[in-house]
Amino acid sequence: MGVMRIGHANLKVMDIEAALRHYERVLGMKETMRDDAGNVYLKCWDEWDKYSVILTPSDQAGLQHLAYKVEHDADLDSLQQRVEAYGIATEMLPDGALPAIGRTLKFALPSGHEIRLYAHKEQVGTSVGSLNPDPWPDDIPGSAVHWLDHCLLMCELNPETGVNRVAENTRFMRECLDFHLAEQVMVGSGNSIQAATWMFRSSTPHDIAFVGGPRNGLHHIAFFLDDWADVLKSADVMAKNKVKMDVAPTRHGITRGTTIYFFDPSGNRNETFAGLGYLAQPDRPVTTWTEDQLGRGIFYHSGELNEAFTTVYT
More confident position, 93 or 308: 93
pLDDT at residue 276 tops 80: no
pLDDT for res 303:
78
pLDDT of residue 307: 81
Torsion of CA 225, 125, 43, 251, to 10 degrees: -10
Instruction: Find out if CATH 3.10.180.10 is the number for domain 148-311.
Output: yes
Active site residues: 150, 206, 220, 252, 261, 271
Strand partners, 41: 33, 54
Average model confidence (pLDDT) for the chain? 96
Topology (CATH) of 3-118: 2,3-Dihydroxybiphenyl 1,2-Dioxygenase; domain 1 (3.10.180)
How far is Cα 80 from Cα 131, in angstroms, rounded to an integer? 37
Query: For the residues 89-102, what does the mean pLDDT come to?
Result: 97
Contact (CB, 8 A) for 144 and 24: no
Query: What's the pLDDT at 90?
Result: 98
Buried-exposed string 187-226: b where 16+ CB fall within 10 A, e elsewhere = beeebebbbbbbbbbeebbbbbbbbbbeebbbbbbbbbbe
pLDDT-derived band at 277 (thresholds 50, 70, 90) equals confident
Q: Are strands 245-251 and 217-225 parallel, antiparallel or unpaired?
A: unpaired
What is the tens place of the pLDDT at every residue in 8-32?
Answer: 999 999 999 999 999 999 999 999 9
Judge whether 31 and 42 are in contact, CB under 8 Å.
yes
CATH 3.10.180.10 boundaries in the chain? 3-118, 148-311
